[in-house]
Amino acid sequence: MRVFLSCLVCRIVTFVLHKLGRGATSMPGKVALKVKRNVLKDLSENTKVIVVTGTNGKTTSCRILEEGLKKAGKSYFINKSGANLITGVTASFIMNSTITGKCKKDYAIIECDENAFKEVSRYIHCDVILVTNVFRDQLDRYGEVTHTLNAIKESVKNLPNAIVCLDADCSLTYSMSKEIPNKIITFGVNVPFDKNAKAPEISDAKYCIFCKHEYDYTYHTYGHLGGFVCPNCGYKRPQPDFAVESVEEMKNDHSVVVANLNGDRNIIRVNIGGAYNIYNAIGCAAALTAFGIDEKTVIDAIEHFNGAFGRMEHFKAGDNTVNLILVKNPAGFSQTMNFLKNIDDDFTLILSLNDNAADGRDISWIWDVDFAGIFEKANVKEIYVTGKRCYDMAVRVKYEGVGNREIKIIENEDYNKLVDIATSQGRDVYIVPTYTSMMAMRPVIAKRLGGKDFWE
């Protein structure tokens, strides 16, 4: 009876919120959990579930996995809105179940916040867990990286029967393999993206997690990812089960790689650009294979998926494109700057910084961002900053050095003005916002330039 009531109130709240034009991603689940705290256990019981967690790449990875299940002809659902706390996960299950709590789909793709996974893992049935990576994130919410790592490790231990896919290039993530009972599949990139890449000045994992000796590296991809080895205790990167063996091409809208998928070598075109999306692709190849999807379908999914909302999302503005790239932490921001540095065409850059709870109140992390010399390039024609902390971002950019360019400020989070500016440039525009800024500006962009609501 309580499962029925939980499902009923969730549906009623969802209906009302949608009528009011709101996303209804978390509140319905919050109400449902008040009725039955462990309702997720009943809802997920007969469903094949894959959980995606980690610091960066969760939402994009879920889109690749979705494309894989779609092309495999599977019946599935996904918490597409990115509502990745237990409230959002519960609401997603209820809205894809009967009123009595029986899931209508055979498969579920669940994006889960690293901290929320501790509670979700107590109730959910799970077949595969994909851990993308562990980087330093919002300090006032997650603390240091070891806190995030321990949260994921504790969660995985609650699900000993799940197959766990780990990033072999991340010394933090892979260290879990020594302490969890699960079957493990590893993925990684065997080569640097830039042959001239040096060790980052600021690393989230400079010292061995086991003996605290400084790591040596045979190569770096980005951040602390790469061929790590501890010369003291011998902890080192393994040879991954799923590996990118070479990067043949990296463009702003795609990459071409040679990948070894559990012993089979393939040339694969990753359908959106960026080094981090190569990691997302190879991680999803491992996860989809663990989920029983055949190799041909896995490759097809990687080559045809579309970016998630706000993540390499494109909006047409006449002959030009307005691009939205979410950033949340130093590693992701740095990689976005590195991606933009490699664009040859002229473009306008708009940076947007908020400090709401979901962004993290502490914005000192922007000083750890590596701008990769982007402002030395003449094709970055104009620079704008906006968001609640636009002046802090302006100071950060000024200290980086922008030559003779003016740093222009869009005050009061005026996103209609932002769209006016973006559509009047006569060139492509790249908007780089933090989370709540993206969530606030995207409906304005989508309404004026065309696009779905974020929960669709």
Question: Which amino acid type is present at position 442?
Answer: R
Question: 102-154 pLDDT, tens per residue?
Answer: 989 999 999 998 889 999 999 999 999 999 999 886 554 555 788 899 999 99
3-state helix, strand, coil in the chain (%, to 5): 35, 20, 40
pLDDT of 200: 65
Residue holding tokens 């562990």? 134
Cα–Cα distances (Å) from 89 to 85, 149, 212, 248, 255, in that order, read 6, 21, 37, 38, 32
Residue 333 near residue 432 (C-beta atoms within 8 A): yes
Report the pLDDT value the prediction gives residue 79, as an integer from 0 to 100.
86
Over residues 313-357, the pLDDT tens digits come to: 888 888 888 899 989 888 889 888 988 888 888 999 999 999 988
84 or 301: which leads in pLDDT: 301
Average pLDDT along the chain: 89
Residue 307 has pLDDT above 50, yes or no: yes
Q: Quick one: tokens of 1?
A: 């009876």
What is the rounded distance in angstroms from the CA atom of residue 243 to the CA atom of residue 240? 6
Exposure on the CB side of residue 367, measured as CA atoms within 13 A: 6
Beta strand 163-167 with 128-131: parallel, antiparallel or unpaired?
A: parallel
Residue-wise pLDDT for 192-246, tens only, equals 988 766 666 667 788 999 999 999 999 999 889 999 999 999 999 999 999 999 9
Token pair for 40: 């997720």
Residue boundaries of the structural domains of the chain: 39-78+104-304, 311-449
How sure is the predictor about 455, in pLDDT bands with cuts at 50, 70 and 90? very low
At 277-287, the pLDDT tens digits run: 999 999 999 99
Reported as a single tens digit per residue, the pLDDT across 81-96 is: 557 888 889 988 988 9
Catalytic site includes residue 362: yes
Q: What is the DSSP letter of 237?
A: P
Topology given in CATH for the domain delimited by 39-78+104-304: UDP-N-acetylmuramoyl-L-alanine:D-glutamate ligase (3.40.1190)
- Bridge pairing between strands 255-261 and 264-270: antiparallel
- Per-residue pLDDT band at 310 (split at 50, 70, 90): low
Overall average pLDDT of the 151-169 stretch: 96
Q: For 380-425, what is each residue's pLDDT tens digit?
A: 899 999 999 999 999 999 988 888 889 999 998 899 999 999 888 8
List the catalytic residue out of 345, 362, 370, 414.
362
Residue 177 has a CB neighbour count (10 Å cut-off) of: 14
Tell how far CA 31 is from the center of its chain. Answer: 27
Tokens of 210: 């086991």
**Judging by beta carbons within 10 Å of its beta carbon (0-12, 13-18, 19+), is residue 140 exposed, middle or buried?**
exposed
| Domain range 311-449, its CATH number among 3.90.190.20, 3.40.50.300, 2.40.400.10, 3.40.50.1000 | 3.90.190.20
Q: How many CB atoms lie within 10 A of CB 47?
A: 24
Residue 269 DSSP code:
E
Q: Give percent of the chain above pLDDT 90.
A: 52
Any bridge partners for residue 77, and if so which? 108
- What does the pLDDT read at residue 120? 94
Q: What is the CA radius of gyration of the chain?
A: 22
> Within its chain, how far is the Cα of 406 from the centroid?
32
- With beta carbons less than 8 A apart as the criterion, state whether 249 and 33 touch: no
